Amino acid sequence: MKVWKYHNPVDITFGWGSLSQLPKLLKGRRAVVVTFPQAKETGLLGQLQTFLGKQLAGVIDDVQPNPELSWVSGHYKEFWKHYADCVVVAVGGGSVLDSAKMFLPGVASADFAEIHAALASGQTPSVSRALPMIAVPTTAGTGSEVTPWATLWDRTSAQHQKYSLHLAQTWPEAALVDPELTLSLPAIVTRDSNLDALSHALEAIWNVNANPVSDGLALQAAQTVVRHLPALLDNPSSVPLRTLASQASLLAGLAFSNTKTALAHNISYEMTLKHGLTHGLACSFTLPMVWRLAWGKRADRDAVLQQVFGSHVADPASALDQFLGSVGVSSDFKAHGVTDEQASDMVARALQGPRGRNFVHTVEV
């Protein structure tokens, strides 16, 4: 029988209004807040300043969507100069959480170029010290609060490079998940981020690294999104539905923190870089196609996938297609500006990519 392990070191606090627990999680330490530009006008930054008082050492609030190498490089040295004794409190969506993770590893040169050079050559950077992080997601989708991964983009390079930073030091110390923070999200962000969570869940199931713990977490997350996202989009101020969406995101994050993602995410990177789709849309519109590729390859994976919509559903990939249509997402590449020929080339490339190789696309013998 196959040996498996599950490991996740992140301390989790979850609940409506739980942002007030932040000072408790800091245990007297100073904090630097990393957040998004609109945090000030929405009142979120003011709330954080009230909770943190004199413990707040500084704020970095110019994080942009999809973290850029140049942004991180421009901030890294100053960050370490001023905040080397701080806990990094990252408050925002996936881009904020990923950007904040870039600051956690400290290197001898105090220059991010050292980390970039290691990433570019496939080496592990030599980390001399590290900062702890408390991750506070403001969307229900990324799962980054319970994973060690951070995506970094370099659009200034000739090939538009994407890097994935993943070190023992980039696991958050704690995740503080307060669904109330998602209450004011625009409908499109609510939808796309929760579709990202659905993608994390399904990608953890059709994954060569799946295990019984990740399956249980992923299944619960996927069922929650397909059952409740349409209702949430109709009732965006519903406390129970917002709570379920955040819960699904967290559980999916816990699942893929051990399996990593798979084919849909590998395809998504090209859709984001070349076609400008948001991450949530880019990694979810292909899910019915990827489901059909996975289906019939491994009986144990089919058994878990079958439970997403229930055993009474004869064609679950079509049920997923209908679900996406019900929230306004087309699963057709052409609807996203990609021809059939380009799509099949993209899928073939993605299958060879690092995440694509996690996908269960061959029959197990």
Amino acid at 100: A
Do the Cβ atoms of 138 and 182 come closer than 8 Å? yes
Instruction: List interacting residues with Fe ion (CB under 5 A).
Output: 196, 283
Closest by Cα among 249, 209, 205 to 7: 209
> Both tokens of residue 195?
């579709």
Closest approach of Cβ 283 to Fe ion, in Å? 5
- Give 244 or 264: the residue with its C-beta nearer to Fe ion: 264
- Give all strands of the β-sheet with 30-35 in edge-to-edge order: 11-14, 174-177, 133-137, 86-92, 30-35, 56-60
Token pair 């019915």 is at which residue? 288
- Give 125 or 214: the residue with its C-beta nearer to Fe ion: 214
> Both tokens of residue 5?
């392990």
Token pair 């699904």 is at which residue? 248
CA separation for the pair 223, 295 (Å, rounded): 18
Closest approach of Cβ 147 to Fe ion, in Å? 10
- Give 178 or 196: the residue with its C-beta nearer to Fe ion: 196
Closest approach of Cβ 176 to Fe ion, in Å? 20
- Give 283 or 304: the residue with its C-beta nearer to Fe ion: 283
- Give 22 or 175: the residue with its C-beta nearer to Fe ion: 175
Closest approach of Cβ 21 to Fe ion, in Å? 26
Closest by Cα among 210, 34, 270 to 131: 34
Closest approach of Cβ 110 to Fe ion, in Å? 31
Strands 11-14 and 174-177: parallel
Amino acid at 355: R
